[in-house]
Amino acid sequence: MSTRAPFGRILTAMVTPFAADGSLDLEVARALASHLVAHGSEGLVVAGTTGECPTLTDRERRELVEAVVTAVAGSVPVIAGTGTYDTAHSIHLSREAIAAGADGLLVVTPYYSKPPAEGIYQHFAAIARAADDRPIVAYNIPQRVVVNMSPALLRRVGGIDNVVAVKQATTDLDQAKAIVEDGLLALYAGNDDLLVAFGAVGGVGGICVASHVAGEEMLAVVVACDAGDVEAAARLEAELLPLYEALSVTTNPIPVKAAVEQIGFAVGAPRLPLVPATTEERLVVAAALAARGIATHR
């Protein structure tokens, strides 16, 4: 594992398994976590966007963290998504995640209320103070939360002692370069297809979705970038692009849940307002898996 990547190089943003009745399925969560660690994931993120965090109760979040922490038994870091648009609630979720054994926290930019830069900074500072020195990943995803954390704001947030990394889910390479040049935050790609672009400018890896089914291959991309062989990394990425495209056929995590089901993990349907993949979408996902020689159980 790279020493400059505080949580590992490839972290999988885990889907949250649900049983047929819609309840949390912790047995499948534990099995999936173990599988991911065995296949390239050097860290796991639970209760993030891909984990359908808006539909999880506070109790379910804690139970999910506990289950995954138990399953990996310290072999990789477990990062809990605890950011919301309410600072007080985010602090509560962060304390619960820490009590459940989380190694770190993923805190998204506050959404819906569109706070100004000062409000965003104070939000992160308040959560960091309550985090018992656990490291925090700031999550900048303007296409979902509307607000973009500028390099200047990220520089300020990066001055908070235990904010150590950023999951940057925007294609703006100038922003990515500025983060690396500041040297305060480890830069993680927040989109699967940014691994090479960010790696070429000093990114440390990614918090990924396709790593549910291609973790070892995605880790190889980052290893090539770390070795300075961007051409090799780009060739590996080109082979993965059809899979990335298939897993973007509709809103995340609908396609990746279909993919994980197809490789044999009963993760169940998403909770409303998300819906299961259509027959056509499932076929797109299945074709991409088959093209990579991934065995399916359709």
Catalytic residue set: 139, 167
- The Cα-based distances of 140 to 64, 109, 144, 225 in angstroms read 23, 6, 9, 23
Q: Report the distance separating Cα 241 and Cα 194, nearest Å.
A: 11
**Residue 102 contacts residue 131 (beta carbons within 8 Å):** no
Q: Report the distance separating Cα 270 and Cα 291, nearest Å.
A: 25
Q: Residue type at 35?
A: H
> Could you tell me the end-to-end alpha-carbon distance of the chain, in angstroms, rounded to an integer?
34
97, 118, 8: which is closest to 46 by C-alpha?
97
- According to DSSP, the residues that pair with 140 across neighbouring strands are 168
Label residue 139 exposed, middle or buried (CB < 10 Å: 0-12, 13-18, 19+).
Answer: buried
Q: Report the distance separating Cα 37 and Cα 209, nearest Å.
A: 14
The tokens describing 203, both together, are 């990114």
